[in-house]
Chains A and B, each alone.
Chain A
Amino acid sequence: MTRFVAGRIGFYTLVALLLAFFTIPLLWLASAPFTSNPTYEVRVPDFTWENFQIILDHPYALGSLVNSLILAIGTAVLVVVMSALAAYALSRVRLPGRDALLYALLLLSSIITGTAAMVPLFQLAIELGLIDSHTGLILIMTGGLLPAAIFMIKDFMDTTPKSYEESARVFGASPLQIVRHVVVPVVRPGLATIAVWTIANVWGNFLMPYLLLSDVEKQPAAVIMYTLYTEGGQANLKVLSTFGLLYSVPVVLMYLFVSKKYGFRFHGGIKR
């Protein structure tokens, strides 16, 4: 009995410690921006808006959030549209070596946006005149994320019955109508997942924009965050925590919104 109780106590202590380990940084992020002189400690804030004023006055901070938004949404739109079309084709057309192609793509994707391809990518961007432009960055990040997206969404499409589409075909729907009326709505939760995943990926990507954008005005929040950190050689916790909060809020909101709207679930037809 005592052994059991001791075991329970030990278990809950461990869980509490683990939880604290993960919650303390979050608590800090929630409280520090509202504190006049934040330190690394978590303290009850004195609810000042002064830190936000600093961010507002910062020449690049807000602009960088807008840049992040442009990059994330641009990439997400491209990735969702292109992966949906490609995955539909790959899922429905029988090609010899289709699976090998998919795995090769997946393998390549981890190389493209990885460190290994940094130099060639940089040179390619210069050659094509895509350096220092949002369009170029969006294209490159799309390329990096597409294979994995195709892979995920193809899985969704494979599990939806072919009879939906065949039924529409017999009614006379064209392939594009079938995709618009039937396939996309049925795999919508999958597309939402891909969109969220892409946005989160681009939002947090530091390396690519850092490499390909030299104009500070064009840089996204992830890069600006880094410059804030090094400003004056020492971390400015006031600015850093406030900007960090502003940087995280949109992603959290997006998750809540999408999960509420689509629930990341699949509404099936017939009971099988």
Chain B
Amino acid sequence: MAAIELRGLTKVYPGGVKALDSLDLTIPDGEFFALLGPSGCGKTTLLRTIAGLETATGGAVVIGGRDVTRVQPGGRDVAMVFQDYALFPHMDVTDNIAYPLRIKKVAKGERRAKAEEVAARLGLEKLMDRRPGQLSGGQQQRVALARVMATQAQAFLFDEPLSNLDARLRLEARTFLKKLQRELGVTTVFVTHDQAEALAMADRMAIMEAGLIRQIGTPSEVFQRPANTFVAGFIGSTPMNLLDAVARGDTLEVAGCKVPVPASAEGLVVDGEKLVYGVRPEYMTYQAGTVEGGLSGSVVILENLGASHLVTLDVGGVTVQGVVAEGEEPALGEQGAVVPRSDRALVYRDGELVAA
């Protein structure tokens, strides 16, 4: 087990694409860390650079206190699960799981025993003689996990290990993976482009954009207080309302309505300045009619989210969304208002969070 530390890590691909731009990141020992970001932001590149499959253009990778920037992948004592699992198609499950031990020259009997032990832990005992081609996606994923477990590496690197599974299996695998990581206590870096997955599984997470880390924090920090409008827009299954606002004393003028300056930004806004007011639909309450301190308009769309509904209001030409509990949804066309929770609303200046 070991901490992973990245210092000013930069990766420029031949051809000039700057995939990582001077990243600094410390992942403590035993942490389950998620790397989240849109396609092409450099997540895979970062993971591969930690693994040593890509050489860093600048900066350093330190694993367990040892600078491994110039060390070959095999010497870094990390194990990686690839997005396609990369199980060897010509080996059966036993040989696949035992392969890392074969490289370490462990005797045949011993490595079979070890493979069986790990496989039993993941419920693979009955599949030991099968080839990867004869396994379902979920089973292949577990074999890939078993294989990295057999390595007893200092850190695990997972590149979107759940993206090949169907929706239901993905939920199961998510819980399973999180439990397994808890039990093993191995430092794990997990790449995903699914924000819900990152929120659900990670101890801490980093949100990346174009080779830069835009925010690092626990899932609740990132969800409740996105550090900038990029993170605010990226996190959350329903996008955050990001509305143009102008400061007027201790109120903000948003879409023709007046809302109080949120608690987080109290005393930090200058009268008359242009800001962005951000509040999650989940942190809004809906009331019929016009409400003081709320955003009033007419209901234009209702979307069923299962246990709740997403209500879209047209507030003076601006679209605002709120969530209402089932059974309380308004009728289409009704006049109503969404009232933000003052302790959850946020203000952004030039895209960055305004906070003490």
- Tell me the A residues contacting B by CB distance below 8 Å: 161, 163-164, 166-174, 177, 181-182, 185-186, 188, 267-272
Known: A173-B103, A270-B140. A163 touches B74 (CB 8 A): no
- Nearest to B77 among chain A residues (CB) is A172
Determine if B87 and A269 form an interchain contact, defined as CB atoms under 8 angstroms apart: yes
Known: A170-B53, A172-B100, A186-B90. A270 touches B74 (CB 8 A): no
Give the chain B neighbours of A268 by CB distance below 8 A.
89, 133
Q: How many A-B residue pairs have CB under 8 A?
A: 85
List 12 other contacts, CB 8 Å, given A168-B99, A171-B99: A161-B86, A163-B84, A164-B86, A166-B80, A166-B82, A171-B79, A172-B75, A172-B104, A177-B103, A267-B89, A267-B90, A269-B85
Determine if B132 and A269 form an interchain contact, defined as CB atoms under 8 angstroms apart: yes
| Nearest CB on B from A164, distance (A) | 5
| Nearest CB on A from B55, distance (A) | 13
- Tell me the B residues contacting A by CB distance below 8 Å: 51-53, 72-76, 78-80, 82-91, 99-100, 102-104, 131-133, 137, 140, 151, 164
Alpha-carbon distance A172/B51, docked complex (angstroms): 11
Could you list 26 A-B pairs, sorted by A, with CB under 8 Å? A164-B89, A166-B53, A166-B73, A166-B86, A167-B88, A168-B99, A171-B74, A171-B100, A172-B73, A172-B74, A172-B104, A173-B74, A174-B74, A177-B103, A181-B88, A181-B99, A185-B88, A186-B88, A186-B89, A267-B89, A269-B84, A269-B85, A269-B132, A269-B133, A270-B85, A270-B137
Q: Which 5 A-B pairs have the closest CB atoms?
A: A172-B74, A167-B86, A163-B86, A185-B90, A269-B89
| Nearest CB on B from A243, distance (A) | 41
Alpha-carbon distance A245/B85, docked complex (angstroms): 50
Give the chain B neighbours of A272 by CB distance below 8 A.
84
Determine if B78 and A170 form an interchain contact, defined as CB atoms under 8 angstroms apart: yes
Alpha-carbon distance A168/B137, docked complex (angstroms): 21
| Nearest CB on A from B325, distance (A) | 41
Alpha-carbon distance A181/B89, docked complex (angstroms): 11
Alpha-carbon distance A270/B137, docked complex (angstroms): 7
- Nearest to B134 among chain A residues (CB) is A267
Determine if A161 and B74 form an interchain contact, defined as CB atoms under 8 angstroms apart: no
Alpha-carbon distance A267/B74, docked complex (angstroms): 27
Give the chain A neighbours of B72 by CB distance below 8 A.
169
